[in-house]
Amino acid sequence: MSDGQSKPLAPPQTAAPQSCVFGAASDQPRGPIRPPIRTPSASATREAPPRRKAAPRKRSKETPHPWHRAVTRSAKAARKRWGPLDRETAERMARTYRAVIIPRGTPGSRPDEETLRAAEMFKTGMEAYFANPKSRPMREYKHSLWQRIYRDVIPNYVHLDKLDRQDRTSKLRRNVTRLLCRRGVKFPLPIWTRAKRKALIG
- The boundaries of the domain holding residue 172 are 117-201
Residue 64 has pLDDT above 60, yes or no: yes
Task: Pick the closest to residue 187 from 115, 117, 126 (CA basis).
Answer: 126
98 inside domain? no
174 inside domain? yes
124 inside domain? yes
Band the pLDDT of 6: cuts 50, 70, 90.
low
173 inside domain? yes
Contact 133, 192 (CB under 8 A): yes
Q: What is the pLDDT of residue 169?
A: 93
Q: Which residue has the higher pLDDT, 73 or 30?
A: 73
Residue 48 has pLDDT above 50, yes or no: yes
Residue 200 has pLDDT above 50, yes or no: no
Q: Give pLDDT tens digits for 93-147.
A: 888 888 888 877 666 678 889 999 999 999 999 888 888 766 778 888 889 999 9
Q: What is the pLDDT of residue 3?
A: 53
Ranges of beta strands (E only) in 160-199 are none
82 inside domain? no
The total number of structural domains that make up the chain: 1
Residue 154 CB neighbours (<10 A): 17
Average pLDDT (180-192) is 71
Task: Pick the closest to residue 97 from 65, 74, 63 (CA basis).
Answer: 74
Considering the entire predicted model, what is its pTM? 0.43
Residue 118 CB neighbours (<10 A): 23
Cα distance between residue 14 and residue 154, in whole Å: 132
87 inside domain? no
Q: Which residue has the higher pLDDT, 117 or 53?
A: 117
Question: In Å, what is the CA distance from 1 to each residue of 8, 10, 11?
Answer: 11, 16, 20
- Mean of per-residue pLDDT scores for the chain: 75
- Which residues, including other chains, have CB under 8 Å from residue 179's CB and lie 6 or more apart? 111, 115, 116, 119
